[in-house]
Structure 1
Amino acid sequence: MGTRPSGLTIHENLRHHVAARPDKIAVVYEDRTFTFRQLYEDACRIAGGLGECGIRPGDHVGIYLRNHWSYIPIYYALSMTGAVAVPINYMLRSKQLGTLMGLTNCKFLFAEMDQHDEVACLDPQQFQEIPVCYVDEGPTGEGLRLSEWLVPGRPAMAPDLHVSIHDPMMILFSSGTTGLPKGILLSHLNRVLYFFELGMEYGLRYREVNLCATPLYHNAAIFFALNNLYFGSTTVVHRKFNEAQTFADIQRYGVTNAFLVPTQLHRLIQNPERSTFDLSSLRTVVSGAAPLATSTKEAIFECFPGVELHELYGLTETGLITNLRPADQMRKVRCAGQAFINMEFKVVDPDGRELPIGAVGEIVTRGATLFDGYYGNEEATRTAWRDGWFHTGDLGKVDEEGFLYIVDRLKDMILSGGVNVYPKDTEDIIYSMPEVQDAAVIGVPHKKWGEAVHAVVVCREGATLTVAEVTDLCRERLAPFQVPAAVEFRSELPRNPSGKLLKRVLRAEFWDDQDVKV
């Protein structure tokens, strides 16, 4: 632990806002509002409760919650105590929950009553001594209750601890798009530098109102929520995403900025109710996880006139690597943008040599906001870091203006008849069809070629396509080896809560019974 307060940690920043704007609304959740003073006092009381339970600086605390008002003060409380936040996907069952808690050596758990059965099924030999605090009320008498820590008469005083900006703040898990998630260790310094960079990029001020409608266990959601609070602005937290509630709260609270993944944006622009609300306050929309089609962008600008659209590319390990800024949205099609503030990237061959303009290779990056390593996994950390650069596992290319284009995940590349096939090339053509809402191209087993190109397509509501229409367009615009050998239509594709496509789930349907895997 450090020897003096840094003045940059999120709880020190919160104390500043209590002094500067104590009665300003900090958090809105459903019909409840919390001022900066109330947020600080709740965080202090939670920190006190954690201390009474024996939680000490450096201990890991699991947060197994849906979006809930308590998520925010819990983060601040953990910062005050020097404990490390471990947010966990609330949809995981007890076995997966136990795996992640064991992986990160959690010594305490926050949960909700409707998850009691999952918590109760945790391995008693491993987790029997771990205290569980439920943030809501319920019929069972087991566990601690957050409400008992937040009684009005309880002292609201922050622990007298010195937390260094170099201390760990949280462990987030990789998206799990390629298998078992890894614990990504992030320091207070990492998060705060991230806040400043985003504040500079978007011109954040204390008068902003931020909408948080994505799960708070995920990096992007908690980052944008805490980032706006760091600048003294208001964050409106939704329990879950709902189009009507999103429109209503933009109008009711004058929401100025929102992080929305592509699937959420698709639902908003297709909802006819949008025309009955005043959405003019929305100034900035930030999206990520997947590129937006040109037709989708046009619909976004129609739905939210005058909005500035930013598309981000980055990983939990790296923070933001690139940003496609508003001025470039329509002239750079399916582009990831230029380097973000204080970040560098390049495209390299398998030996680490930088490739020329237009050549496809692996994207590597370095900068101030990169993570401190994979918790308890030095081998994975060494593999990811080579010669001072973090290897993303993504394939990309750079144009003459320094704009980055994501070609594919390195592991998603299809090897068909000895030829490398980049699924994104085929997906881009399919996405150009106005009837298409979502698409994925994967490699499936083929006796002759090893892998065959297989397309899975989701049509927009009310639209229809035939296999021939898809393959004919691909033959017209692509090389023969890039044309899907088969096309199937589905109602949806598997995505994680951040909107990332889970191609491994699609591939598993075809490969799980094969002797040879990819």
Structure 2
Amino acid sequence: MYITQPLHRAVQQHPDKVALRCGRRSQTFRSMADRVARLAGALQALGMAPGDRVAMLALNSDRYFEYMIAVPWGGGVINPCNIRWSAAELLYSLEDSGSRLLLVDDAFAAVARRLQEDSSQPLTVIYAGDGAVPAGMLGYEALIAGAQPVPDAVRRGDDLFGLFYTGGTTGQPKGVMISHGGMYASLLSMLAEGMAPRDGVYLHAAPMFHVADIGMSGIQWLRGNTQCFIGSFTPQGVVEAIERDRATHVLLVPTMIQMLVDHPAMREGRDLSSLRCIVYGASPIAEPVLDRAMAVLPGVEFVQAYGMTELSPLATICPAEFHTVEGRRRGKLRSAGRASFCTEIRIVNAEGREVPRGTVGEVAVRGPNVMKGYWNNPDLTAATVRDGWMHTGDGAYMDDDGFIFIVDRVKDMIISGGENVYSAEVENVVAQHPAVAAGAVIGIPSAEWGESVHAVVVLKPGAALTGEDLIRFCKDRIAGYKCPRSVDIVAELPLSGAGKVLKTALRAPYWKDRESQVA
């Protein structure tokens, strides 16, 4: 199984069908195949050898999709960069992965210059934007026009497809290694769940660096469906794209769905009749939001997918039937669904033994979609994947029907607006402030974001600091979505007998009236 295979099939079966539509640009599968083969040749000419990592830092576009196919076509490995990271975080991921080629668009050309200047090794930057090519960069379209097409390297099976950097529980991002076979297994699972009917049009509204969007995009890719793009999510942009491009499927997080259904554009009489399905993830959807969404989008199905980067990314599916009024009476809406095709799910205790139904433990997943491991981190890999089971760090219970209900996180992670925020990363920055003696970071309930990042700090004797000061300090050092949105300054932190901060005690006042300890 290999990611480039659907392009060969599409060119053979429907070469003149529209593959990609981005603004005024449109490509058939035939023209896309030629551009992919030429871009692969250009990357090889720039030094990309088999297995080399090639990074991209850009908003959603057809060129981003070409990059994701051309890199493996030429024998390389994709490294999609988080567009919300700071320059320091981006530089770490580039240097740790050994990425020496970087594609950027207009939004990140200035950041790319700084990355070139700060990189310890030469960094070749390819400008994939629409303006004049900046000095010191190579032009994307010129490279394609001047390159010879090369044959598909046919990287497959256990070969590395992508390196996806996520936040790290130890304070540094970690690279998740996803194979071609692992990614393909997730795609086939979603295809078997009926999430990509024929003649669909998928709208890229979620960021394309996320493996979740790659998964949803990939099943349309297997079907030979058309894909369209908006640079980044806005409610207005989604509405306009659905109407303009007749999109049938879109991936959103519950926060985005809430913003979409409450936006004035939804009351303007726009023609959204093409939309068939909204797939969402990161957290369950609140029933009032679902009610509003179903009222303004009658006939649209809602499907929840639960997973993580390390699972390429799919673990479970809660299908559309449990989102209807009748389906909700069966009590499964707050679940994350059941094991998808190709996966096994267990709820286990600290020793890795399965616990009885209804008992809270850790979600463990086994299947061909499990990651190859963490890049250059065999110890963390061995601690996370044991006897073939990926230990997710999510606490949950399983009911008698096999549905899992997430209730807490074993790993110290916050999900804010669909983005993973690891407390350790934020705590490392908070601790750098000269006025802070000790600190802890937790997730607290947020109507807007699901969870909000909250810092609790103890000051050094005689020091003065406001919450606003600490938030500004953090914003200079890490991505904005990771920064605390609120701060408590306290005399001391609650500690366990072993001297560890009792985050359960810090969370308790905020979550005391809630059944679940996550949003």
1:13 corresponds to 2:6: yes
For the pair 1:75 / 2:73, whether they are aligned, the reply is no
Check whether the contact 2:169–2:412 (CA below 8 A) recurs between aligned residues.
no
- Relative to structure 1, the CA distance from residue 511 to residue 88 in structure 2 (aligned partners, 3 Å threshold; closer, same or farther) is farther
Residue 88 (structure 1) aligned with residue 77 (structure 2)? no
Partner of 1:148: 142
| Residue aligning to 1:317 | 310
TM-fit CA distance, 1:168: 0.6
Which residue does 2:210 correspond to in 1?
A: 218
Q: How does 1:111-510 map to 2 (within 5 A)?
A: 111-122=104-115, 124=117, 126-136=119-129, 137-138=131-132, 140-151=134-145, 154=146, 157-159=149-151, 161-175=153-167, 179-202=171-194, 204-275=196-267, 276-318=269-311, 319-329=313-323, 330=328, 331-412=331-412, 456-458=445-447, 505=484
Q: 1:255 to 1:44 in 2, by over 3 A?
A: same
Distance 1:162 1:327, change over 3 A: closer
Q: Residues 177 and 305 of structure 1: is their aligned pair in 2 closer, same or farther, counting only changes over 3 Å?
A: farther
Alpha-carbon displacement from aligned partner over 1:271-298 (angstroms, at most 9, x marks no partner): 2322411222222111001110111111
Q: What TM-score results when the alignment is normalised by the length of structure 2?
A: 0.77
**Structure 2 CA distance, aligned partners of 1:338 and 1:126?**
44
CA–CA distance in structure 2, aligned partners of residues 189 and 508 of structure 1: 44
Query: The residue matched to 2:232 in structure 1 has which SS?
Result: coil
Separation of aligned partners in 1, 2:365 and 2:233: 32
Q: Secondary structure at the match of 1:10?
A: coil
CA offset digits 1:256-281 (Å, max 9, x no partner): 21111111100111123224112222
Closer, same or farther in 2 for the Cα pair 1:511/1:33, shift >3 Å? Answer: farther
Unaligned runs of 5+ residues in structure 1 are: 1-7, 414-422, 425-439, 445-449, 461-500
Alpha-carbon offset, residue 317 of structure 1:
0.5
Deviation at 1:232, TM superposition (A): 0.3
Q: Does the C-alpha gap of structure 1 residues 348 and 510 become closer, same or farther in structure 2, counting only changes over 3 Å?
A: farther
| Residues in 1 aligned to 2:443 and 2:27: alpha-carbon distance in whole angstroms | 50
Q: Match of 2:100, SS?
A: strand
Output the amino acid matched with 1:404. I
- The TM-score with structure 1 as length reference comes to 0.78
Shift of 1:455: 5.0
Judged with a 3 Å threshold, the aligned counterparts in structure 2 of structure 1 residues 257 and 459 are, in CA distance, closer, same or farther, namely: closer
Q: Report the RMSD for the aligned CA atoms in angstroms.
A: 3.2
CA–CA distance in 1 between the matches of 2:441 and 2:32?
Answer: 55
Q: Secondary structure at the match of 1:62?
A: strand
Is the partner of 1:121 in helix, strand or coil?
helix
Alignment of 1:60 with 2:53, yes or no, is yes
Shift of 1:35: 1.3
Distance 1:508 1:27, change over 3 A: farther
Q: How many residues align?
A: 440
Match of 1:106 in 2: 99
Distance change >3 Å, CA 253–CA 179, structure 1 → 2 = same
Identity of aligned residues (%): 29
Give the Å deviation of 1:174.
2.3
Asked whether the 8 Å contact 2:364–2:390 carries over to 1, the reply is yes
Alignment partners' CA distance in 2, 1:304 and 1:177: 39
Name the aligned partner's letter for residue 197 of structure 1: S
Partner of 1:30: 23
